Structure 1
Amino acid sequence: MPLTPLSRKLTPEDAAHLLRRTAFGATDAQIRALVGREAREVARDLLSFGNETAPGNPFDPAQAARPGAGAQLVRGAWLYELLYGPHPLRERLALTWSNHFVIGTDKVRNVPMLTGYLALLRRHAASDNFAAFTLDVARHPAMLRYLDNDQNRKGKPNENFSRELLELFTTGLGTPGRPNYSEEDVREGARALTGWTFEGGRGNDRFLEEPRFVFRPGQHDAGRKAYLGRAGNLGGEDVVRLAATHPQTALFVARKLHRAFVADTPDEAAVAGSAETFRRTNGSVRAVLEELLASEAFYARRAAIIRSPVEFIVGAVRTLGQPRLEAKQILNLAQTAGRLGQLLLEPDTVKGWDGGREWINDSTLLGRMQVAAALTLGGTAPALREQPTPLALLGQERSPLQGALGGLSPKQRTYLTLISPEFQLA
């Protein structure tokens, strides 16, 4: 069954909720611009993003002198786009996909690989064809390097990518006693993916060189294979397509999207509804999101997602009206996000960040307090055109914290709201 659409036009609280989830946060004026509009129309507009980027990005990874510096500049450039870019939902989705199709700068140290991979995530952010998205990921040098498929050859198969293609990218493991795939599928998939590699950009002295995908027929196992119930002389494209269009992939991807936009622990009936839309539209992420962001399910459960470190930082800056920060401040914020548990383009493991309650502990809460103080109270705090309203900060016309904050200065009220439990929830 498709998700039930929201029947009312957007209220101020609805609009604030939508922009907290899709744009990290927004000003009072940006929120009120959506009030009175149909939810489906707004969702469609938000998903109609283009390729434009924020002007004046001060970070150029191509100018790096060393691989590590290149990775730092890529992170700085991405955080700048997250903070100031014209399409926050595109960046929100790219962040989500970076935690799905995981690579890491611990192994991928080539700058064009990193920038090209990030461009791929943006290009497919609201993909109309998840199978095509997955195939582009599978063939990208960053993924080939990260999961070692560049070492996968006939007679010496490497199963790393074949395993994660199923376990983490498409079908998921399944349940005890009812797995979604077998070990034989992993082995046969690895055989089909032999010969996929890349050339160029290898080694620390060539970290600025552009790599490119190549298929080496002499290293490919062209024999008969059986994979997810299909048999034949299957190649890499075949197994990626079979995995990406498997019925269980619809549930796996739908659950990821619900965790990103609805709740840390999503309602499985609503997930099933989105999975049906995914199947009906032949894997259209855009169709799933358009329905989801205009549904009763999306608006019914509020404050059910704990902001990640990056979401907290970006949400604070966008809610404050996107005051201009110096390049050094942005690099420091990227590193701070890492200390709080979310270093861009380097999740903890190949399965990505767990999220939810894992984001919050005594140490990370102290770090969030320090970020909020630097943005509001510190000597280098950016100048604000105006202080954010309760609607912008907490999604309510009247702040539930008003009684506790009376008598304080506007800066103090903003600081205390940013560190409140209510602001940690999107």
Structure 2
Amino acid sequence: MDATYRQVPAHRRGGFAMPQRTASALPVTLAAVLVYLLLIPQQFNITLGGIYLSAFRVFLLGGSLYVLSNALQKNLRFAWPDLMVILAVAWIWLASYMSSGSVLTALEMGGSHTVDMGLAYFFARATIRTPTDLRRLLVLITPGIFIIGSVIAAEALGRAYILQPIASALTGQPMPINYEIRMGLLRGTASFPHPILAGIVMASFLPIFLMSGLRGWPKILGVIAGGFGVFSMSSAAMLGVVVGGGLVAYDWLTERIANVTWRLFMIIVIVLYVSVELTSNSGFYGLLIKYASLNTGSAYNRILIWDFGVENVAQHPWFGIGYADWDRPKWMHWGSFDHFWLISALRFGIPSAFFLLAATLIALVMVVTRSRDLPLHDARLLRGIAISLAVFALGLNSVTLWMGALVWFFMLIGITVSLGTPPLRRMRVYQRPARQPQAQEPLVQS
């Protein structure tokens, strides 16, 4: 073999091994049910007593009992992202009250984020604990995400919405999506409340399925579904597909060429980022938005949102402004704010955004570190989930998450933390060693 090819350690060689049976398939099944509930069109959501309820929120409220049961039984090992998520949710409650002065407003805002972020994260932590669990989840959800991805592609190519008009006809609720053509194609959306959410969620599945170790129809359909995200005609989704696929290809090279490593990749990225920040007038973010956006108007809007958004955060650094309108010139009449990390700081203060970003970064470090100690097929899966989360988090620089997309992002963080956490050590039952004849040499235990 050529000397430039990396030698894989003996304990990490071999193909995908069939997983052993576990005591119960219930946890993974519950996680799959939640994913399917995220795919239900919002026309089926209801408002009860001023509280906006969706199927996945009701399910997560019930699922909190399962999370609490696991916590009491100490089935989960504590990890630092757990604390970061708890602190972020707690700060949102505090900031909601401080910015509004209303207990009812704090209950509404804090409660919704507790469910969509906190419960989604810990539910994923409790149900998906091993690479085998994640593979089983992928198999279960493959039909659903493939159907949704196919609808997104069909809507784009046929220039007509399919799923949500049916949902509106059944429920009488309007379809909130604007008809928009880009590059000759309709922005496909399927069941999502916005095309950009459809695209970035579908794109997040691509690296996971590519590196899952699955074979046959689940992998093929899962990869196709992830690629269908480009039909949302969103620059964030297209970047997610291209960058996600590119990083998977780079990982393939790291296993075969000794001088190609992830450390080298990170060094190149850091040097490139610093160079752009020092030499460009618009900085790295401005340059990325300018050349990576499909629409020059939306690119300019995002730069303005960043500039004036930062000014608003500087004026309300601790508790934000809640859901009040943010200060901007009158000619900026649109109200969208396409930057998840910045709007988190704007609504609830810098601490909440810091805790959420810290949870994401620590989760990435954990899962990458853990992958070094696992067999090759499991290590690849962990790197796949790391690539998916990293690309998703990067895409949030031009996307605001809400509803099902927000829940999936925090599920993804929770799954990443679970896979990056070493399993709990169970107490071994002591067995008395068999008595050896006096004449024999004492056994030396290795």
TM-score under structure 1 length normalisation: 0.23
Whichever structure has more helix as a proportion of its residues is 2
TM-score under structure 2 length normalisation: 0.22
Higher Cα radius of gyration: 2
